[in-house]
């Protein structure tokens, strides 16, 4: 599927590679439900076709956006998957991911510098890490266990006979 960005006329591939969004899973189930909007009436972000809204010239494939997507997927996995996350948790996870990427960007700048970090950068880093901690506490800094036990058929198929 190819989506055309109405702001700048650029085409983008959809869905985002590796980005699994909860709206995708329930899209077909919600088509006839009363009070539910079909996918063509939803935001491109809600549909999972784009990671975030952007202005002309924005890029969902920048290193920053790719890292953000990776962090979102890691946190969602820790919480048991999209279907286990509330809309509020999903929102907080996206903000946690953005704060994480910005902290990593500052850490990279600190490590590549030949001199001590500026006070303003350290204060920004401190504020980011404190905000990140509070946001993580809001969604819980623990893993929710998922059942990863294989079925009997999968176990037997993967088991090799001893010689």
Q: Say whether both 87 and 110 belong to one domain.
A: yes
Q: Tell whether 70 and 104 lie within a shared domain.
A: yes
The beta-carbon contacts of 141-145 under 8 Å, at least 24 apart in sequence, are: 142/78, 143/78, 144/78, 144/79, 144/80, 144/84, 145/80
Residues 46 and 8 occupy one common structural domain = yes
Report residue 154's pLDDT band, with 50, 70 and 90 as the boundaries: confident
Q: How far lies 21's CA from each of 18, 26, 106, 159, in Å? A: 10, 10, 29, 34
Portion of the chain with pLDDT greater than 70, in percent? 61
104 shares a domain with 69: yes
Q: Are residues 71 and 47 in the same domain?
A: no
When divided into structural domains, the chain yields a total of 2
Based on the domain organization, do 98 and 121 belong to the same domain? yes
Q: Are residues 92 and 47 in the same domain?
A: no
Asked whether residue 9 is assigned to any structural domain, the reply reads yes
Residue 40 shares a structural domain with residue 66 = no
Angle at 115 between CA 107 and CA 105, to 5 degrees: 15
Does residue 88 lie in a domain region?
yes
Is 15 a residue whose pLDDT tops 80?
A: no
Minimum mean pLDDT among 2-11, 84-93, 132-141: which range?
A: 2-11
* Domain range for 115: 62-145
User: Is residue 161 a part of any domain in this protein?
Assistant: no
pLDDT per residue over 96-135, tens digit each? 999 999 999 999 999 998 888 888 999 999 999 999 999 9
Give yes or no: residues 46 and 88 share one domain. Answer: no
């Amino acid at each position: 599927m190819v989506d055309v960005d109405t702001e700048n006329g650029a085409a983008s591939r959809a869905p985002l590679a590796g980005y699994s969004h909860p709206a995708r899973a329930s899209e077909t189930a919600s088509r006839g439900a009363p009070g539910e909007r079909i996918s063509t009436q939803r935001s491109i972000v809600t549909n999972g076709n784009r990671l975030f809204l952007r202005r002309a010239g924005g890029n969902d494939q920048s290193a920053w956006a790719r890292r953000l997507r990776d962090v979102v997927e890691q946190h969602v996995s820790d919480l048991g998957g999209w279907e286990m996350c509330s809309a509020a948790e999903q929102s907080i996870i996206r903000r946690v991911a953005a704060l994480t990427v910005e902290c990593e960007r500052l850490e990279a700048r600190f490590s590549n510098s030949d001199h001590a970090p500026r006070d303003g950068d350290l204060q920004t880093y401190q504020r980011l890490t404190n905000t990140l901690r509070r946001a993580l506490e809001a969604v819980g800094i623990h893993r929710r266990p998922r059942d990863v036990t294989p079925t009997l058929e999968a176990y037997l198929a993967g088991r090799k006979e001893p010689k």
